[in-house]
């Protein structure tokens, strides 16, 4: 009644509401300006640059040539991205199509989902092969290494962090000290940490990592200098025994050099993740555990059925941020890479840097950045689609 | 008839006027540099910065045009390169900048540097014929860019050279024990191999660390170039403007090194300057590196196994040594007035003059770029015999190519070099490397400025 008593503004909106809106917008304006200038403008400018021939100086408009150069021919890219889209379709068919019941229609939908998933796999594989054959091989191989890096480090970081946090959440002496120790790697400057890792993982037999291996009678490894895929390093003898000299391709895994860098990623972020998990653990109501204990649940069961689901929002948050971070990772990889290892550790961000500063091809680097940005967006969308729903939101 | 004569005369006058105007556009003869303030971006720190500041002060105090030079440390070569890119061809760029040849070439792609030929050749401000002849030819030519129609985008204030570092005492030990068949440092690849393999089996008696290796190779495009030069090849053909990484000399050089690795007489350097440390500890008999590392090698040996050591030409198959000389030059960025450009050149001329060069060489331990400076370094040579040995090799110097994108080529080539040392086919790898290098170069030159 009181609202109606005030004179109405434009389109019948009360003046007080207008004032509230205006105040709200004025409050967010500084952030919008800062994000606009330093966040959105560079993205827009990168897209703009990518459409021109730009080598130190802006050249002529070339449209999507840089994207074609990156992906190779249109067919391969269409097959690859179409395949990725089909994965989403398959997921929708499996979970959402025709409701959540158990009827015959749902079974058909799931069968269709399985077929679509198969088709998606074939399209992705064929499209990728064609892209690698015709596109910018360095960048595309960099993407593969980025995937290795992300999937090799984030799940392990999360799992280790969860275990660590659960242990630290117990009533143990010196808990604060342990928390600090685990958080320290995150605080250490990446360059300094990476430089220390270079020393630890030196190929010299007398250095730390190889000394530890020697205790177990394992021969010294070349670590950051090893270009062989990890499958060959681990099972080389066995493979040679069955007549396989060298393994290659995606399933041979990353090089040992990249695995060493993955160790660094795990070392850096596990403690950080553990601290975030600890905050999450503090928010779980104790009475849930008490009720479970009364019902006869042991500690493992409580962890499995209470802690893990209740922490799922934190896990989801850390996973999303973790993958975004690994796809953007640069500093420590740049510090740890060696000429002798060739391109075995060059993830997408490293390739983009080299395209910009060494190839002087600014527009191609911009196009590659836009592609990486798109991939990170798609990945986040996938995570949200596949895992977001299973997050416990209270 | 008369009318025709007038038309002809008019045409001649017009043509003459246009030609004169075009010549004057590049001419500095009537430009007055008085009162200009010049900024100089460089990467020298600590004692080198102090020495440079002294030279700058002396110039500021003595030049009759009241030109003031302000030298500013701007970080490493890479930092300077990255700072330069956004300010190319603007008044925000410095008047003088330290730049490697390939960096200057990149600036040139964006019209970001001044062609110094008109300044160097100016009758009023430039260098006399005698002055030009005083420069080591390899140094003087290194900043002339064939890819840019012979433009000069830099001028050399100092240079370094790739040399062979060797442990004299260990070589003597090997000779005394009958492990090698020659005296002194190796001069041929065969002698080098003989000594490297002998050293691997017979560690140095006074080594302060365990293990022994004949040669530690740092994976680097300059090493590949140096060994290729030593085997009579080249990595670039100025006539065709193309890389020649698959030349016979390169194939022979890489095959030689690969054989050393296969025989277990060589290994790659695993840490930054790890070869210096191992050399100082008496673990490595030979390394190949920049002469600018002389003071660091001295420290490594003094803090390590304390033996006699020196430098020599890289063992070669050519009648005379062919040495890889390199070093950043100074360039004049565009975006400034002709008066400022001339003032910048006058400082560069002073900086590369005999007096300043002698001071600079002794303080920086770089090589001077003028032959006549040797006369002023007699005492210094006596106290730094390794420097003197390297200095005597300067007339044999040639340079790596001054082309845009060479940084990227270097990375690619270093990768290929690593692959070869890992056992990859030398011929195939170098063929691929050459194709890649030429692709990169062609890609860079697509955007060559038209003017």
- CB contact (8 A) between residue B88 and residue A354: no
Q: Are residues B166 and B283 in the same domain?
A: yes
pLDDT at res. A368: 96
Q: Is residue B299 part of a domain?
A: yes
Integer Cα distance of A214 and B415 in angstroms: 30
Mean pLDDT, residues A288-311: 92
Quick one: closest CA in B to A222, which residue? B270
Q: Are residues B282 and B423 in the same domain?
A: yes
- Chain B residues within 8 A of A354 when measuring between CB atoms: 408, 411
- CB contact (8 A) between residue B81 and residue A357: yes
- Chain A residues within 8 A of B111 when measuring between CB atoms: 57
Q: Are residues B230 and B300 in the same domain?
A: yes
A53 at B interface, C-beta within 8 A: yes
pLDDT at res. B6: 52
Report angle CA A100, A103, A108 to the nearest 5 degrees.
90
Q: Are residues B286 and B317 in the same domain?
A: yes
Q: Is residue B424 part of a domain?
A: yes
A257 at B interface, C-beta within 8 A: no
Residue B392 clears pLDDT 60, i.e. is over it: yes
Task: Identify from A209, A211, A232, A360 which residue to disrupt to test chain B contact, counting B C-beta atoms within 10 A and taking the largest count.
Answer: A360
What HEC string does B233-287 produce?
CCCEECCCCEECCCCHHHHHHHHHHHHHHHCCCEEECCCCCHHHHHHHCCCEEEE
- CB contact (8 A) between residue A339 and residue B411: yes
**Of A55, A227, A357, which has the smallest distance from its Cβ to B447's Cβ?**
A55
Q: Give how far B5 is from chain A: nearest CA, Å.
A: 47
Q: Is residue B92 part of a domain?
A: yes
Under 8 Å CB pairs connecting chains A and B tally to: 68
Mean pLDDT, residues A261-269: 96
Task: Identify from B208, B209, B270 which residue to disrupt to test chain A contact, counting A C-beta atoms within 10 A and taking the largest count.
Answer: B270
Q: Classify residue A354 as left (phi > 0), alpha (psi -120 to 50) or beta.
A: alpha
Residue B451 clears pLDDT 90, i.e. is over it: no
**Of B81, B107, B270, which has the smallest distance from its Cβ to A204's Cβ?**
B270
Q: Are residues B300 and B441 in the same domain?
A: yes
Picking from A144, A390, A163, the residue whose alpha carbon sits closest to that of residue A281 is A163
What does the mean pLDDT of chain A come to? Answer: 89
Mean pLDDT, residues B316-337: 96
Residue A141 clears pLDDT 90, i.e. is over it: yes
pLDDT at res. A248: 78
Q: Are residues B281 and B425 in the same domain?
A: yes
Task: Name the more confident of B90 and B27.
Answer: B90
Q: Is residue B43 part of a domain?
A: yes
Q: Is residue B297 part of a domain?
A: yes
Domain boundaries, chain A: 66-135, 137-390
Separate counts of helices (H) and strands (E) for chain A? 19, 2
Name the band, by pLDDT with cuts 50, 70 and 90, for residue A99.
Answer: low
Give residue B316's domain range: 162-325+405-445
Quick one: closest CA in B to A342, which residue? B415
Domain A137-390: state its class.
Answer: mainly alpha
Q: Are residues B280 and B346 in the same domain?
A: no
For B333, the 3-state DSSP assignment is: strand
- Chain B residues within 8 A of A341 when measuring between CB atoms: 418
Q: Give how far B412 is from chain A: nearest CA, Å.
A: 8
pLDDT at res. B4: 56
**Of A57, A227, A359, which has the smallest distance from its Cβ to B405's Cβ?**
A359
Residue A187 clears pLDDT 70, i.e. is over it: yes
Q: Is residue B440 part of a domain?
A: yes
Which of these ranges, B35-49, B232-246, B392-406, has the smallest mean pLDDT?
B392-406
Q: Are residues B232 and B202 in the same domain?
A: yes
Q: Give how far B399 is from chain A: nearest CA, Å.
A: 20
Residue A47 clears pLDDT 90, i.e. is over it: yes
Please write the tens of the pLDDT for every residue from A114-124: 999 999 999 99
Q: Which two tokens stand for residue B1?
A: 């008839």
- CB contact (8 A) between residue B110 and residue A202: no
- CB contact (8 A) between residue A359 and residue B419: no
Please write the tens of the pLDDT for every residue from B189-220: 999 999 999 999 999 999 999 889 999 999 99
Report residue B157: phi and psi, to 5°.
-95, -20
Q: Is residue B2 part of a domain?
A: no
Integer Cα distance of A130 and A121 in angstroms: 14
- CB contact (8 A) between residue B407 and residue A357: yes
Q: Are residues B196 and B295 in the same domain?
A: yes
Q: Are residues B283 and B147 in the same domain?
A: no
What does the mean pLDDT of chain B come to? Answer: 91
Q: How many domains does chain B have?
A: 2
Helix B406-421, helix A348-357: angle, nearest 10: 130
Q: Are residues B373 and B236 in the same domain?
A: no
Give percent of chain A above pLDDT 90: 63
Interface predicted TM-score (ipTM) over 0.90: no
- CB contact (8 A) between residue B85 and residue A340: no
Quick one: closest CA in B to A344, which residue? B415
Which of these ranges, B3-7, B169-173, B202-206, has the smallest mean pLDDT?
B3-7
Please write the tens of the pLDDT for every residue from B86-111: 899 999 999 999 999 989 998 998 89
In the DSSP assignment, the letter for residue B70 is E
Mark out chain B residues that contact chain A at CB-CB < 8 A: 81-82, 85, 88, 106-107, 109-112, 210, 219-220, 268, 270-271, 404-405, 407-408, 411, 414-415, 417-419, 421-422, 440, 443-444, 446-447
Q: Is residue B65 part of a domain?
A: yes
Quick one: closest CA in B to A56, which residue? B110
CATH code for the domain in which residue B283 is found:
3.40.190.10
Quick one: closest CA in B to A197, which residue? B271
Q: Residues 175-214, chain A: which have Cβ within 8 Å of B?
A: 198-199, 202-204, 206
A359 at B interface, C-beta within 8 A: yes
Q: Are residues B249 and B203 in the same domain?
A: yes
- Cβ atoms of A386 and A363 closer than 8 Å: no
């Amino acid at each position: 009644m009181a609202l109606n008593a005030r004179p109405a503004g434009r389109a019948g909106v009360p003046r007080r509401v207008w004032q509230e809106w205006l105040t709200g917008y004025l409050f967010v304006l500084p952030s919008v300006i800062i994000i606009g200038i330093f966040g959105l403008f560079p993205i827009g400018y990168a897209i703009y640059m990518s459409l021109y021939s730009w080598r130190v100086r802006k050249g002529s408009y070339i449209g999507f040539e840089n994207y074609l150069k990156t992906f190779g021919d249109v067919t391969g890219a269409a097959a690859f991205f179409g395949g990725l889209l089909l994965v989403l379709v398959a997921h929708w068919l499996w979970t959402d199509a025709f409701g959540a019941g158990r009827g015959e229609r749902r079974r058909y939908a799931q069968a269709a989902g399985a077929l679509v998933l198969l088709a998606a796999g074939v399209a992705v594989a064929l499209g990728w092969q064609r892209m690698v054959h015709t596109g910018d091989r360095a960048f595309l191989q960099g993407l593969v290494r980025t995937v290795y890096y992300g999937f090799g480090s984030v799940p392990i970081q999360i799992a280790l962090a969860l275990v660590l946090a659960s242990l630290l959440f117990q009533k143990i002496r010196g808990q604060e000290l342990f928390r600090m120790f685990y958080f320290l790697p995150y605080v250490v400057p990446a360059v300094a940490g990476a430089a220390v890792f270079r020393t630890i993982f030196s190929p010299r037999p007398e250095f730390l990592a190889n000394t530890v291996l020697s205790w177990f009678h394992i021969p010294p490894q070349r670590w950051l200098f090893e270009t062989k895929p990890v499958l060959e390093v681990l099972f080389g003898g066995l493979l040679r025994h069955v007549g396989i000299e060298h393994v290659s391709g995606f399933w041979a895994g990353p090089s040992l050099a990249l695995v060493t860098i993955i160790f660094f990623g795990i070392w850096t972020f596990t403690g950080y993740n553990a601290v975030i998990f600890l905050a999450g653990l503090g928010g779980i109501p104790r009475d849930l555990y008490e009720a479970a204990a009364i019902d006869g649940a042991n500690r493992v069961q409580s962890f499995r059925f209470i802690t893990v689901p209740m922490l799922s929002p934190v896990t989801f948050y850390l996973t999303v941020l973790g993958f975004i971070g690994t796809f953007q990772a640069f500093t420590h990889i740049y510090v740890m890479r060696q000429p002798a290892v060739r391109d075995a550790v060059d993830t997408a961000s490293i390739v983009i840097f080299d395209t910009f500063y060494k190839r002087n091809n600014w527009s191609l680097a911009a196009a590659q950045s836009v592609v990486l940005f798109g991939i990170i967006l798609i990945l986040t969308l996938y995570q949200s689609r596949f895992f977001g729903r299973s997050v416990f939101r209270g | 008839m008369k009318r025709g004569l007038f038309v002809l005369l008019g045409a001649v006058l017009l043509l003459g006027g246009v030609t004169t105007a075009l010549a004057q556009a590049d001419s500095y003869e009537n430009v007055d540099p008085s009162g200009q303030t010049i900024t100089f971006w460089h990467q020298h720190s600590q004692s080198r910065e102090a020495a440079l500041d002294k030279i700058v002060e002396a110039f500021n105090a003595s030049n009759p045009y009241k030109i003031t030079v302000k030298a500013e440390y701007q970080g490493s070569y890479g930092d300077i390169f990255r700072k330069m890119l956004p300010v190319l061809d603007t008044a925000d760029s410095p008047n003088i900048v330290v730049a490697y040849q390939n960096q200057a070439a990149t600036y040139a792609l964006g019209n970001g540097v001044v062609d110094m030929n008109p300044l160097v050749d100016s009758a009023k401000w430039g260098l006399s014929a005698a002055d030009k002849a005083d420069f080591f030819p390899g140094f003087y030519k290194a900043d002339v860019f064939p890819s840019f129609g012979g433009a000069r985008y830099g001028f050399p204030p100092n240079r370094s050279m790739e040399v062979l570092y060797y442990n004299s005492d260990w070589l003597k030990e090997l000779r005394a024990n009958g492990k090698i068949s020659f005296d002194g440092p190796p001069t041929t690849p065969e002698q080098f191999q003989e000594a490297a393999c002998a050293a691997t089996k017979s560690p140095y008696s006074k080594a302060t660390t365990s293990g022994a290796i004949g040669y530690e190779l740092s994976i680097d495009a300059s090493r590949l170039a140096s060994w290729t030069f030593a085997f009579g090849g080249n990595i670039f053909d100025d006539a065709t403007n193309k890389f020649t990484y698959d030349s016979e000399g390169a194939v022979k050089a890489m095959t030689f090194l690969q054989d050393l690795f296969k025989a277990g007489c060589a290994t790659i350097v695993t840490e930054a300057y790890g070869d210096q440390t191992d050399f100082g500890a008496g673990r490595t008999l030979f390394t190949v590196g920049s002469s600018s590392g002389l003071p660091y090698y001295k420290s490594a040996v003094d803090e390590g196994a304390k033996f006699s050591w020196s430098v020599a030409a890289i063992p070669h198959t050519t009648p005379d040594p062919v040495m890889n000389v390199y070093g950043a030059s100074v360039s004049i960025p565009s975006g400034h007035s002709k008066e400022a450009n001339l003032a910048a050149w006058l400082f560069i001329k002073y900086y590369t003059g005999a007096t300043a060069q002698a001071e600079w060489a002794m303080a920086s331990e770089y090589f001077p770029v003028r032959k006549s400076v040797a006369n002023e370094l007699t005492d210094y040579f006596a106290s730094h015999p390794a420097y003197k040995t390297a200095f005597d090799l300067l007339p044999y110097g040639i340079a790596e190519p001054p082309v845009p994108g060479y940084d990227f080529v270097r990375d690619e080539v270093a990768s290929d070099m690593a692959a070869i040392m890992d056992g990859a086919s030398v011929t195939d790898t170098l063929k691929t490397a050459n194709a890649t290098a030429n692709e990169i170069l062609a890609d860079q030159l697509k955007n060559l400025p038209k003017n």
